[in-house]
Amino acid sequence: MPLVTIKIFEGRDVEQKRGMVKDVTEAIVKTIGCPTTAVQIDIVDLNPENIAQGGQLFSDRR
Amino acid sequence: MPLVTIKIFEGRDVEQKRGMVKDVTEAIVKTIGCPTTAVQIDIVDLNPENIAQGGQLFSDRR
Amino acid sequence: MPLVTIKIFEGRDVEQKRGMVKDVTEAIVKTIGCPTTAVQIDIVDLNPENIAQGGQLFSDRR
Amino acid sequence: MPLVTIKIFEGRDVEQKRGMVKDVTEAIVKTIGCPTTAVQIDIVDLNPENIAQGGQLFSDRR
Amino acid sequence: MPLVTIKIFEGRDVEQKRGMVKDVTEAIVKTIGCPTTAVQIDIVDLNPENIAQGGQLFSDRR
Amino acid sequence: MPLVTIKIFEGRDVEQKRGMVKDVTEAIVKTIGCPTTAVQIDIVDLNPENIAQGGQLFSDRR
């Protein structure tokens, strides 16, 4: 704890994920005052066919 | 908001997903009175090896 | 299966939730062709202090 | 209900998953007293690139 | 990791939850072979007004 | 998208949550390059009776 889940569009490379988990962890530690090692993050890579807003798939917007 | 997650068996094609997000969005908008664009849906495609009921994997039922 | 989670702002009454789960279930059954009894929905009522967009809590927008 | 989600590192085979859902289901039935058939479990297989603790991806620990 | 989420009907007391997390953890450790301390579980207590099956709220079944 | 869920121990005040969503949003925008307004965060406040590690509730650790 804290346990964080981040859903993003698939296609980000490991460099971006590495930076994201580092900076998100620091942001949480600084603002709520928990130990760094307590922060766990899992990332869900989503295909645009599996996300919709306003009733429309993102894969149909492109 | 509303944020909707729908877990389904893998194998549905994009036609079915397209129809599902359209109709689910309309159902929510009609019944709780939010803007259409506020409804976000993400879909999780599940392998029958990754779902169980009553202690048994769905992949073992077939 | 399907398993559906719907996160909404807290404050909707049971009439709205009753209508929402009925219509969302019908929308899913019609579009992906599963049995009605297979559809399960859980609803999460969110306090505006617990939701943010663009880095701002919804409770600060009001 | 109960609805259970288990996130594990990818790579477990179907034997391990079969045993896990059987034993987890029995543990829940025994301790909270619900029908066996009411317990549903879905499993999420996570790539070590998609999990972090303490700001570091598990794929960078190895 | 493993990270487990268990959604149950509200009303279980702390004795039942204590037993459930102990036995579910042992079941996972035994079947997939991870360290006991690696297993984290969070419990969601659900109001019957917030769960539906087959298009009907559980609070309407009673 | 991105959609972020953060589970924390209950008891953080709105100042801490305000800071957390602001800084987490900035961290994500900077590292994966999405628009600020696209980032949505929901927070789950967890009672120590509803979280366990290593088979033990946090409420029993104190």
Residue D41 clears pLDDT 90, i.e. is over it:
yes
Whole-number percent of chain D with pLDDT over 90: 95
Answer whether 0.90 is exceeded by the pTM: yes
pLDDT tens-digit profile, chain B (62 residues): 899 999 999 999 999 999 999 999 999 999 999 999 999 999 999 999 999 999 999 999 96
Mean per-residue pLDDT, E51-55:
98
Contact between E21 and F59 using a beta-carbon 8 Å cutoff: no
Given the residues D2, D10, D26, D49, select the one marked as catalytic. Answer: D2
Contacts of C39 in chain E (CB under 8 A): 52-55
Shortest Cα distance from C32 to chain F (angstroms)?
A: 25
pLDDT for res A24: 98
Mean per-residue pLDDT, D7-13:
97
Contact between B46 and D42 using a beta-carbon 8 Å cutoff: yes
Q: Which residue of F has its CA nearest to A22?
A: F27
Contacts of E3 in chain A (CB under 8 A): 3, 40, 42
The C-alpha torsion from D45 through D47 and D48 to D53, rounded to 10°, is: -60
Q: Where are the beta strands (DSSP E) in D1-62?
A: 3-9, 40-46, 51-53, 56-57
Integer-rounded Cα radius of gyration of chain C: 15
- Quick count: other Cβ atoms within 10 Å of Cβ F11? 10
Mean per-residue pLDDT, A1-12:
97
CB B19 within 8 A of CB B27: no
pLDDT band of residue C62 (cuts 50, 70, 90) is: low
Interface of E with F in 1-60 (CB under 8 A): 14, 17-18, 21-22, 25-26, 36-45
Indicate the residue of A18, A38, A44 with minimum beta-carbon distance to D57. A18
CA F10 to CA F43: how far, in whole Å?
10
Mean per-residue pLDDT, E22-30:
98
Contact between F39 and C49 using a beta-carbon 8 Å cutoff: no
The C-alpha torsion from B38 through B7 and A7 to E27, rounded to 10°, is: 140
pLDDT for res B11: 96
pLDDT band of residue A39 (cuts 50, 70, 90) is: very high
Contact between F54 and E37 using a beta-carbon 8 Å cutoff: yes
- φ and ψ of C42, to 5 deg: -120, 145
Buried b (16+ CB within 10 A) or exposed e, C35-54: eeeebbbbbbbbbbbbbbbb
Given the residues F1, F2, F4, F6, select the one marked as catalytic. Answer: F2
- Quick count: other Cβ atoms within 10 Å of Cβ F13? 9
Name residue E56's beta-bridge partners. Answer: E53
Report pLDDT digits (tens) over C32-60.
999 999 999 999 999 999 999 999 999 99
Given the residues A1, A2, A3, A53, select the one marked as catalytic. Answer: A2
Contacts of F48 in chain E (CB under 8 A): none
Q: Which domains does chain E have, with CATH numbers?
A: 1-41 (3.30.429.10)
Name residue F7's beta-bridge partners. Answer: A3, F44
Q: Is F48 among the catalytic positions?
A: no
Report pLDDT digits (tens) over F5-47.
999 999 999 999 999 999 999 999 999 999 999 999 999 999 9
pLDDT for res A62: 65
Instruction: List Cα–Cα distances, E8 to B57, C3, C38, E54, E61, in angstroms.
Output: 20, 14, 18, 18, 17
Contact between D54 and A25 using a beta-carbon 8 Å cutoff: yes
Residue with tokens 């789950």: F44
pLDDT for res E62: 65
pLDDT for res D30: 98
pLDDT for res D62: 64
Structural tokens at position D35: 């029908």
Which chains sit next to F, with 3 or more Cβ pairs under 8 A?
A: A, B, C, E
Helices (H), chain F: 14-32
Cis peptide upstream of residue B35 (ω within 30 degrees of 0)? no
Whole-number percent of chain C with pLDDT over 70: 98
pLDDT for res B54: 97
Mean per-residue pLDDT, E41-46:
98
